[in-house]
């Protein structure tokens, strides 16, 4: 979808990069990883999926599917994580995470498309069936509100499978595993010992897919069957940006709104307080492990 018409006027006044996201979401993680690789300052708006903060009229007015992530850039709303990667790459071309040749560019876009296509039938189904459904069980009232707010038929069908009193079946897990196995086998043949998904350098394709591995690992997918994938994932997870984008967020923070970035990028900003619209406190973070200073509004 990319850039959409906003139906929430309060986000239109946000300046800079604001990300509505959650810690353990692979879709959020891929966007955080690109932002951190590019060294961009950003403001974090934490949406807690465990407490169903996404199932609210307010959040649906920001993201029409009620999912994370949503990027707001100088008041423009951008949705769909792989489209957000392309948007950021275009808006901030240096450093570059896109190959130079047209065929490789095309191949990279195909991998992004595939990562989006496999999300519900593969990653989300496997992760919910094995782990998440139990953690985000809705009350009957929450399920009813969700049905009222959600217009997307794929998401309605997906979430109906774990409505109160229901659960994913063995067939769901079997189908999801087959899709994932086939994608991981192909990734393994591309990255082999020390390569990347497309061409000879780390690109948006690697960023998009590596972050799904974290989710699969947490959900107990047998990744050991794909040693080249494990090796490629290990290489990516040693990058400094990974610590800030992925590891830091695996334990959900209590702070609702934070300014992220290195101390230099934060200092370069006009004022650490101007960017929030929620009235919350603003936390200034610059290091993977946390909050450097609290500034009052
Ligand atoms: N295609 C969307 C999928 C977003 C998505 O499903 N996000 C998950 C977290 S990874 C979420 O918000 N789940 C809550 C829900 O489905 O209600 C994207 O790539 O941004």
pLDDT tens per residue, range 192-240: 988 999 999 999 999 999 999 999 999 999 999 999 999 999 999 999 9
With a 6 A CB cut-off, is 204 part of the ligand 1 pocket? Answer: no
Ligand 1 atom index nearest CA of 28? 10
pLDDT greater than 90 at residue 280: no
> How large is the average pLDDT for residues 71-83?
97
CATH of domain 2-295: 1.20.1050.130
pLDDT tens per residue, range 18-32: 999 999 999 999 999
**CA–CA separation, 63 vs 7, rounded Å?**
9
Query: Does 293 sit behind a cis peptide bond, omega within 30 degrees of 0 on the bond before it?
Result: no
| pLDDT bracket for residue 297 (50, 70, 90) | very low
**CA–CA separation, 105 vs 169, rounded Å?**
38
pTM, to two decimals:
0.89
With a 6 A CB cut-off, is 211 part of the ligand 1 pocket? Answer: no
Q: Which residue has the higher pLDDT, 125 or 267?
A: 125
pLDDT tens per residue, range 83-134: 999 999 999 999 999 999 999 999 999 999 999 999 999 999 999 999 888 8
For residue 25, the CA-to-ligand 1 centroid distance in Å is 8
Distances (CA, A) of 50 to 2, 46, 159, 281: 26, 12, 14, 22
pLDDT greater than 80 at residue 288: no
pLDDT at 293 (0 to 100): 25
């Amino acid at each position: 979808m990319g850039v959409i018409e906003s139906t929430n006027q309060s986000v239109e006044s946000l300046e800079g990069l604001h990300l509505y996201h959650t810690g353990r979401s692979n879709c959020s993680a891929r966007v955080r990883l690109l932002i951190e690789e590019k060294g961009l300052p950003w403001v974090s708006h934490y949406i807690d999926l465990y407490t169903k903060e996404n199932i609210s009229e307010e959040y649906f007015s920001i993201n029409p599917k009620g999912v994370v992530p949503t990027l707001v850039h100088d008041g423009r709303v951008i949705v769909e994580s792989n489209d957000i990667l392309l948007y950021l790459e275009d808006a901030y071309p240096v450093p570059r995470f896109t190959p130079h040749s047209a065929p490789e560019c095309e191949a990279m876009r195909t991998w992004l498309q595939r990562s989006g296509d496999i999300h519900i039938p593969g990653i989300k189904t496997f992760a919910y069936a094995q782990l998440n459904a139990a953690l985000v069980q809705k009350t009957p009232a929450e399920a009813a509100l969700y049905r009222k707010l959600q217009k997307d038929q794929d998401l309605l069908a997906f979430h109906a499978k774990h409505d109160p009193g229901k659960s994913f079946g063995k067939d769901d897990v079997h189908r999801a595993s087959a899709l994932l196995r086939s994608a991981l086998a192909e990734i393994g043949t591309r990255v082999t010992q020390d390569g990347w998904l497309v061409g000879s350098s780390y690109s948006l394709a690697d960023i998009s897919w590596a972050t799904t591995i974290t989710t699969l690992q947490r959900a107990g997918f047998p990744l050991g069957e794909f040693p080249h994938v494990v090796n490629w994932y290990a290489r990516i997870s040693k990058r400094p940006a990974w610590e800030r984008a992925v590891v830091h967020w695996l334990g959900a923070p209590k702070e609702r709104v934070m300014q992220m970035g290195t101390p230099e990028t934060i200092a370069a900003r006009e004022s650490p307080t101007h960017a929030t619209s929620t009235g919350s406190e603003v936390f200034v973070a610059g290091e993977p492990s946390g909050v450097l200073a609290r500034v009052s509004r």
